[in-house]
Amino acid sequence: MGREWWRGAVIYQIYPRSFLDTNGDGIGDLPGIVERLDYIAGLGVDAIWISPFFTSPMADFGYDIADFCGVDPMFGTLADFDRVLKKAHDHGLKVMIDQVLSHCSSAHAWFQESRQSRDNPKADWFVWADPKPDGSPPNNWLSLFGGVAWTWEPRRSQYYLHNFLPSQPDLNFHNPEVSAAQLDNLKFWLDRGVDGFRLDSINFPYHDALLRDNPAKPAHLRTGRGFSPDNPYAYQYHIHNNTQPENLGLLEDVRALLDRYDDVGALGEISSEDSLATTAEYCTARRLHMAYSFELLTEDGSARHIRSTVEALEARMRDGWPCWAVSNHDVQRAVSRWGSGDADPALARQLIALVCSLRGAVCLYQGEELGLPEADLPYEALRDPYGKAFWPNFKGRDGCRTPLPWTDGPQGGFSQGTPWLPVPEAHRVRSVAVQNADSDSTLHAARAFLRWRKQQPALVHGSIRFLDAPEPLLAFVRESADERLLLVFNLSAVPARWAAPANTSLLAIPGFSGVTHDGENLHLPARSVALARVGGSL
């Protein structure tokens, strides 16, 4: 892919627990990834991002890491990871892995030592604080998973901070030994040959050293991605427990390490009070290569919201590179979220074309290429502690994490055993095997679009400019030195018409047909995409 491979790359996210199980224990594994890399390469993507496969008690399914440099036995071995790396590279795929810098598992040796006393070598590696005179926590900070962000440790007679689960204690980056240790962990994987990192919650490593209270948020502003309506986390402005100025220095240290290696990239996940501003601040030539936030992972899939989000980031970002996603392992699948529960194949195709046409890199979550809807699971099937805590108002993240269906047979061809989460019938009928056999399927359309995209410099590296269009139409131009492409999306479930610019010439991409041009207007069926070359002034 040449230098700076990540610019304009399509990155396929693998959630390894749910990708393919090869040993019959019901949990996907690294050998399963090796076995299906041909399939991923055949999609036309440029890279894979593998969610955590590290040693972990799995309280948060791998995001609670007990050994940053070890592979959990349920996923395989370091040798299996090396096989993934080699085969991916043989297919021309770059490999990114998750890294969680801000916290670890309470089972990690660092925390086990730190919690024993106030004077051991790791005593200051975590965020410890004395109680208030009445014995209550040191401030009002709340956990994203609900409830107080502090847990009492009787061996030290102190509280420790956890922005997530109590079993995910926050590391104290005000101690330089901590950042040095985490940089060493990154170096371990870089030396092994990875092409980059997806940095989880990268605005969370530093906290306010004065432990000041977060201010209250008015009721009408208590919104956010993935929050249950009754999650108290939404009641505060989180200005002291994350996104601190000192974090910029950490990012510069990470970038300095990465710059010692040949053409690697860092993708940061950002969730802050003003995520677009933080994304622009974090993505510079001295910090992250790319970042994404959650603006397109919310309930609002309107043309107005998409345009305003992209334009706001474009106006702020100078030398960084955006990354866009409409689905991942933490939110309801987009085809259900933006389709009002209707798993319309036309919407599934449109979403792939839309996110892959914005300026920047793209993260596609496994199953998007199949148009999988959100799985509706009963309470007794839930595994996510977040969902269990807030049932029934919020069902957690299990509905987007169910196993990828490879066939329409029992367990969807995912496992010979009992899958860790059930494979619903609505997914099995959309399996890889079923869609491979259907030339009009979402899978074939996704492959066609991704392969076509690779050949369009304007989509990979070009600029973006939005054109005025009435809701529910979204129209923009991608332009490079060699070409100008017009893309128009009818985001509604009813047909629409739009006055096209002069010299508009529609393009025929398999799976994206039905739009017509009468010389003046584009006629767009429901959930359709107009792809065109355009000349003249706009």
- Residue 215 falls inside a structural domain: yes
pLDDT confidence of residue 225: 53
**Tokens standing for residue 521:** 């207007």
How large is the average pLDDT for residues 364-390? 95
CA-nearest of 332, 346, 331, 322 to 446 is 346
pLDDT tens digits along 76-112: 999 999 999 999 999 999 999 999 999 999 999 999 9
Angle at 296 between CA 290 and CA 302, to 5 degrees: 145
Q: Give the other-Cβ count within 10 Å of 492's Cβ.
A: 16
pLDDT tens digits along 241-257: 999 999 999 999 999 99
Distance CA 492, CA 469 (A): 13
Confidence class for position 162, pLDDT limits 50, 70, 90:
very high
The yes-or-no verdict on residue 388 having pLDDT over 60 is: yes
CA-nearest of 372, 363, 480 to 426 is 372
Domain finish residue from 391, 422, 452:
452
- Residue 41 falls inside a structural domain: yes
Distance CA 74, CA 97 (A): 17
Looking at the structure of the chain, the number of domains it has is 2
Give the CATH number for residue 375.
Answer: 3.20.20.80
Query: Which residue would you say has higher pLDDT here, 320 or 377?
Result: 377
Helices 442-454 and 345-355, interaxial angle, to 10°?
20
Residues 260 and 314 in one domain: yes
Helices 176-192 and 78-90, interaxial angle, to 10°?
60
CA-nearest of 206, 209, 292 to 251 is 206
Residues 481 and 515 in one domain: yes
Residues 427 and 495 in one domain: no
End-to-end CA distance of the chain: 32
Q: State the chain's mean pLDDT as an integer.
A: 95
pLDDT confidence of residue 42: 98
Question: What stretches of 34-122 adopt beta strand conformation (E)?
Answer: 47-50, 54-55, 67-71, 94-99
The yes-or-no verdict on residue 455 having pLDDT over 60 is: yes
Query: Which residue would you say has higher pLDDT here, 228 or 405?
Result: 405
Q: Which helix (H) or strand (E) holds 346?
A: helix 345-355
What is the share, in percent, of the chain residues with pLDDT greater than 70?
Answer: 98
Distance CA 176, CA 173 (A): 6
Confidence class for position 228, pLDDT limits 50, 70, 90:
low
Residues 185 and 49 in one domain: yes
Residues 529 and 396 in one domain: no
Tell whether pTM > 0.95: yes
DSSP code of residue 517: E
How large is the average pLDDT for residues 218-245? 84
Residue 468 CA neighbour count, 13 Å, CB half: 1
The yes-or-no verdict on residue 163 having pLDDT over 60 is: yes
**Tokens standing for residue 116:** 């024993």
Distance CA 194, CA 443 (A): 28
Give the CATH number for residue 470.
Answer: 2.60.40.1180
* Under 8 Å between Cβ of 90 and 209: no
pLDDT confidence of residue 230: 77
pLDDT confidence of residue 220: 87
How large is the average pLDDT for residues 274-296? 94
- Residue 247 falls inside a structural domain: yes
What is the residue range of 370's domain? 10-105+174-452
The radius of gyration of the chain's CA atoms, rounded to the nearest angstrom, is 23
Residues 288 and 377 in one domain: yes
Residue 148 CA neighbour count, 13 Å, CB half: 10
The yes-or-no verdict on residue 224 having pLDDT over 80 is: no
The yes-or-no verdict on residue 501 having pLDDT over 90 is: no
Confidence class for position 2, pLDDT limits 50, 70, 90:
low
DSSP code of residue 357: T
- Residue 134 falls inside a structural domain: no
Q: Which residues are known to be catalytic?
A: 200, 269
Backbone angles phi, psi at 80, to 5 degrees: -65, -40
The yes-or-no verdict on residue 287 having pLDDT over 70 is: yes
pLDDT tens digits along 343-367: 899 999 999 999 999 999 999 999 9
The yes-or-no verdict on residue 538 having pLDDT over 70 is: no
Domain finish residue from 425, 452, 479:
452
How large is the average pLDDT for residues 369-394? 93
pLDDT confidence of residue 502: 83
Distance CA 119, CA 244 (A): 27
Residues 437 and 469 in one domain: no
Domain finish residue from 452, 485, 503:
452
How large is the average pLDDT for residues 43-72? 98
Confidence class for position 314, pLDDT limits 50, 70, 90:
very high
Strands 361-365 and 463-467: unpaired
